[in-house]
């Protein structure tokens, strides 16, 4: 039976690759987030494949509240089962990061060009390659003729690259999508069961301006901030000695990603600001990390009364760690499908990145991350690609997962 589905996926190989090419050929860079064309394409194609399709327009007032210039849209498509089974969600985002300098791409970034067994272009892996695989896994099961009980839901959501608030966040908070488990964009060489929390801070140093020739009349905000940056570096060393017990997660990281300050080289700067990103392992809480930063800064200010430091949390970038237990039935189901296709199982890991999985977990839907591609596929870089062999193999795994999970009640024999 499994071989039958695998053969169907093999017979669909050209169709799967073509579908991915067409997705790549539709620009959906975020920012700014232009989703009209890709949503229209998905609405038409998924309807043709046999899904019940709904394009969900995020209300204008929500867009305005988020200070976004373009409409936000999400696509929910359901491949209906016979009823009475568990419902499986596949979630992948329709936005991509910008292409950067197009002249630095070997193949045009929206070409979907094929070379050396790979599809090239922005989103080829992240995350249009995953979306193509999820859609075609459901289509393959439908075409196999094997009846299945539960529904297979495709949640193609916007804005993941900028936090997903009006994408997966919106459709889960509004209960526009529901299911018993979700598979969210991930890699084919491991199963991700845990993701780090995210805490981002803006730290501002306030000083007093003066002419550089009379420096003592001022208070140099950049020099005071240098003490804070050094304190953050020391905090990072402490955190390295507090590793996570979850394979792959290492430790909580501290990254000073942006620094700005001063107006002119011969003026004592009266302001300096840094933006700091923390990737927080499940053993830590966002609050505990914030408190450690705050305590460090308060100690610096006690030692140097001329320091005037303000700390602000960035509200759109605060996310608690998400964890699915290693013995979860989700993982067991996926490992079974992996073994049926490859003969082996995959490592189960955590990672310091974040994804839309958190929105589903917060809504009470257990989730893991898995999909075609690896982190060697030049994601977010020039010449992003999807390996076609990986795309087809992973689609086989996902089609078998869908069959097993959604309760196939009849089997096709050879």
We report the CATH number of the domain holding residue 279 as: 3.30.70.360
Alpha carbon separation from 39 to 30, 54, 78, 209 (Å, rounded): 15, 10, 15, 52
| Dist. CA 16–CA 133, nearest whole Å | 7
Do 239 and 187 share a structural domain? no
- Assess if residue 145 is contained within a domain: yes
Confidence (pLDDT) at 411: 40
Give residue 12's pLDDT. Answer: 98
| Pair 255, 334 in one domain | no
Residues 290 and 191 occupy one common structural domain: no
| Same structural domain, 110 and 89 | yes
50 and 178 together in one domain: yes
Q: DSSP alpha helices (H): ranges in 210-356?
A: 221-240, 286-303, 329-342
311/381 same-domain check: no
Location of structure tokens 């700067």: 269
Same domain, yes or no: 289 and 328: no
Q: Distance between CA atoms of 95 and 33, rounded to whole angstroms?
A: 7
Residue among 138, 147, 153 nearest 83 (CA): 147
Angle CA 207–212–214, to nearest 5: 90
Quote the domain boundaries for residue 272.
197-319
Containing 115, the helix (H) or strand (E) segment is: strand 114-115
Beta bridge partners of 202: 275, 312
Q: Would strands 367-369 and 181-184 be described as parallel, antiparallel, or unpaired?
A: parallel
What's the pTM?
A: 0.91
Determine the straight-line distance between the first and last CA of the chain, rounded to whole angstroms.
Answer: 7
In a domain, 411, yes or no: no
Residue 338 lies in a domain: yes
Do 15 and 71 lie in a common domain?
A: yes
Residue 250 lies in a domain: yes
Regions in the chain scoring below 50 on pLDDT? 1-2, 410-414
pLDDT at 408: 73
Query: 């959906």: which residue's tokens?
Result: 28
Inside any domain, residue 98: yes
Domain membership flag for residue 74: yes
What would the pLDDT profile of 379-412 be if each residue is shown by its tens digit?
999 999 999 999 999 999 999 999 999 987 544 4
CB 211 within 8 A of CB 217: yes
Contact 93, 158 (CB under 8 A): yes
* Strand order from edge to edge, sheet including 114-115: 114-115, 118-120, 385-387
Q: Are residues 117 and 228 in the same domain?
A: no
- Backbone region of residue 48 per phi and psi (left: phi > 0; alpha: psi in -120 to 50; beta: other values): alpha
pLDDT of the residue at 3: 53
Domain boundary pick from 290, 319, 348: 319
Q: Do 68 and 132 meet the contact criterion of CB atoms below 8 Å apart?
A: no
Domain end marker among 319, 341, 367: 319
Last residue of a domain, one of 319, 346, 363: 319
Helix axes 36-48, 13-24, angle to 10 degrees: 160
Residue 124 makes CB contacts below 8 A (sequence gap 6+) with: 20, 24, 112, 118, 377, 384, 385, 386
Q: Are residues 171 and 292 in the same domain?
A: no
Q: How many CB atoms lie within 10 A of CB 265?
A: 7
Look at residue 299 and tell me if it is in a domain. Answer: yes
- The CATH number of the domain holding residue 343 is 3.40.630.10
Are 383 and 273 part of one and the same domain? no
Return phi, psi of residue 22, to 5°. Answer: -65, -35
Least Cα distance to 228 among 269, 284, 272, 286 occurs for: 272
If you search the block for the tokens 């899904």, which residue do you land on?
51
One domain for residues 101 and 43: yes
In a domain, 245, yes or no: yes
Cα–Cα nearest to 91, from 108, 74, 115, 116: 74
Number of domains in the chain: 2
Residues with Cβ < 8 Å from 302, sequence gap 6 or more?
Answer: none
Question: What is the DSSP-derived secondary structure letter of residue 87?
Answer: -
Is 119 within 8 Å of 129 (Cβ atoms)?
Answer: yes
């Amino acid at each position: 039976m499994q071989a039958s589905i695998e053969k169907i996926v093999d017979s669909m190989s050209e169709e799967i690759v073509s579908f991915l090419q067409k997705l790549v050929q539709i620009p959906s860079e975020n920012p700014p987030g232009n989703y009209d064309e890709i949503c229209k394409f998905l609405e038409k194609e998924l309807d043709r494949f046999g899904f019940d399709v709904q394009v969900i327009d995020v209300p204008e007032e929500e867009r305005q509240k988020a200070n976004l210039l373009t409409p936000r849209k999400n696509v929910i498509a359901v491949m209906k089962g016979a009823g009475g089974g568990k419902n499986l969600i596949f979630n992948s985002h329709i936005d991509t990061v910008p292409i950067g300098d197009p002249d630095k791409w070997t193949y045009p970034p929206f070409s979907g060009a094929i070379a050396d067994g790979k599809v090239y272009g922005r989103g080829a892996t992240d995350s249009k390659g995953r979306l193509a695989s999820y859609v075609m896994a459901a289509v393959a099961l439908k075409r196999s003729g094997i009846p299945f009980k539960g529904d297979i839901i495709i949640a193609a959501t916007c804005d993941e690259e900028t936090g997903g608030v009006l994408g997966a966040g919106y459709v889960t908070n509004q209960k526009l999508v529901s299911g018993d488990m979700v598979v969210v964009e991930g890699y084919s060489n491991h199963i991700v069961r845990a993701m780090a929390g995210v805490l981002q801070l803006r730290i501002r140093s306030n000083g007093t301006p003066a002419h550089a020739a009379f420096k003592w009349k001022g208070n140099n905000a950049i020099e005071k901030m240098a003490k804070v940056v050094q304190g953050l570096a020391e905090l990072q060393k402490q955190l390295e000695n507090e590793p996570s017990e979850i394979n792959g997660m290492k430790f909580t990281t501290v990254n000073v990603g942006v620094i700005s300050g001063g107006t002119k080289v011969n003026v004592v700067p009266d302001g300096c600001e840094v933006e700091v990103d923390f990737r927080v392992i499940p053993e830590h809480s966002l609050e505990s990390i914030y408190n450690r930063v705050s305590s460090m800064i308060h100690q610096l200010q006690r030692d140097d009364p001329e320091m005037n430091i303000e700390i602000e949390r960035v509200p759109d970038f605060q996310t608690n760690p998400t964890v699915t237990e290693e013995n979860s039935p989700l993982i067991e189901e996926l490992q079974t499908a992996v073994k049926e296709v490859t003969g082996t199982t995959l490592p189960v890991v955590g990672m310091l990145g974040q994804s839309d999985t958190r929105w589903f977990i917060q809504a009470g839907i257990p989730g893991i991350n898995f999909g075609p591609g690896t982190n060697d596929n030049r994601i977010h870089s020039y010449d992003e690609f999807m390996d076609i062999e990986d795309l087809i193999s992973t689609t086989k795994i996902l089609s078998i997962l869908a069959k097993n999970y959604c309760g196939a009640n009849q089997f096709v024999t050879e």
